Amino acid sequence: MPLILIISGLLYALAVFRLMNGLERARLVFETARSAGAGGALPELGIVIAARNEADSLPALLAALEAQDYPAGRLTIVLVDDGSSDGTSDTADRLAPTRHGFRCLRVDLDPEQGSPKKAALAAGIDAVQAPFVLLTDADTVPPPCWARGMAAALAGGCPVVAGYSPGAPRRGLVGWIAGAWDLGTAILAGGFVGSGQVVHLTGRNWGFARSLYAAAGGYDGLERALSGDDTLLAQKFARHAPPRFWGFTLAPELQVPTRPPAGMKQFLSGQLRHVATGIRFTPRALSLAAGAFVLFSLLWLALVTLPWSPWGAAGGIAVGLKLVTDTVAFAVGSAAAGQRPAPISSPVFSLLHLLCFPLLQLAGILLPFNWKGRRSR
């Protein structure tokens, strides 16, 4: 058992450092394509947002989209009202951007017939005639150069681009946990992409070539999954365009801030929804997720048995390897994202992550979740 624990710690460290190499590779791919695309005329671009009961969030979002530094006449914004009951469509029509093209659609789909959000996104993408599409959520505030930077990378040769979407502002314990989780998730997403895999992608800040969407069949085959609008679609894309050619960025000027969770319950609900997507992963991605669960379970065992187990020293080495590699990864990721975490925050979060993540994985697989009044099956 002591040898198994030490090996698990070493495997974790090797996996993290490989992901950090992947993150750098994905960043270089993005920046190379961005530089190439910035040398010519920016392409026609569509931005698609699915919104359900987001009337309160739309003023900030629509103002941010109106302020996009993009050539007039080359940007079309499509907002799809996903069965809202709070006047989302009325708010969108009242505050519609005027500098860029704007359309507001409404889709009302019975959840028993499929995933309403996927249907809304599909309707929005179908309404876009531009060769490239960006997706974000209704509770975000994209910076003025977001569309320009992401479109340049798409035009420069990346079939898919993705970035970081931090919660802002961060307040209290929940804000700190959610912020660290968002950064860690972004590092993992970029690391996997640069390593040639797709295990997670955040739908608040990504885009793709419309031709790739058509070649992959869009959301066909994903209708029954209530969660995973971004990750499952990206895994379909990976069958047609190798992820090693995708671009990923943590650059501060291209981050898309989002509204943070209102409390721990909302945060956990969101994480359960994301984890539940794993049961619908492609076989390759599912094998990676299963391997991660086994590795985390061994490290979890090492941590919870440290005080009284006969292999406490081996467990301490395994957990220590995780703390050190996580701290290095967070330091590199934070620097790339323009953040300055407190020195003690990364190892503390690493311990919390180790304690909670295996349990969260099990709960996400075994328990149903609620999302905006809709319950998973």
- Model pLDDT for residues 13-38, shown as the tens digit of each residue: 999 999 999 999 999 999 999 999 99
Task: Measure the CA–CA gap between 267 and 260, rounded to whole angstroms.
Answer: 8
pLDDT at 11: 92
Q: Which of the pair, 106 or 366, is modelled with greater confidence?
A: 106
pLDDT at 346: 84
Confidence of residue 245 (pLDDT cuts 50, 70, 90): very high
Residue 376 has pLDDT above 60, yes or no: no
pLDDT at 302: 81
Q: What is the DSSP track for 57-118?
A: THHHHHHHHHT--S-TTSEEEEEEEES-SSSHHHHHHHT--SSSEEEEEEE---GGGS-HHH
- pLDDT tens digits, 77-121: 999 999 888 989 999 999 998 999 999 999 887 666 668 889 999
Other C-beta atoms lying within 10 Å of the C-beta of residue 213: 23
Confidence of residue 134 (pLDDT cuts 50, 70, 90): very high
Task: Measure the CA–CA gap between 38 and 156, rounded to whole angstroms.
Answer: 8
**Residues 161-174, mean pLDDT to the nearest whole number:** 89
pLDDT > 90 fraction of the chain, expressed in percent and rounded = 55
Contact predicate 231/200, CB 8 Å: yes
- At 147 the three-state DSSP class reads helix
pLDDT at 285: 81
Confidence of residue 368 (pLDDT cuts 50, 70, 90): low
Q: Which of the pair, 61 or 264, is modelled with greater confidence?
A: 61
Task: Measure the CA–CA gap between 377 and 370, rounded to whole angstroms.
Answer: 10
- Across the chain, mean pLDDT equals 88
pLDDT at 354: 86
- pLDDT tens digits, 287-341: 888 888 888 888 888 887 766 666 678 878 888 899 999 999 999 999 999 987 6
Contact predicate 160/205, CB 8 Å: no
pLDDT at 4: 84
Rounded to a whole number, what is the largest CA-CA distance in the chain? Answer: 69
pLDDT at 177: 87
pLDDT at 17: 94
**Residues 358-364, mean pLDDT to the nearest whole number:** 77
Confidence of residue 225 (pLDDT cuts 50, 70, 90): confident
pLDDT at 83: 87
The tokens describing 140, both together, are: 């975000």
**β-strand pairing of 206-209 with 101-107:** unpaired
Domains in the chain, CATH or no CATH each: 2-17+284-375 (no CATH), 22-262 (3.90.550.10)
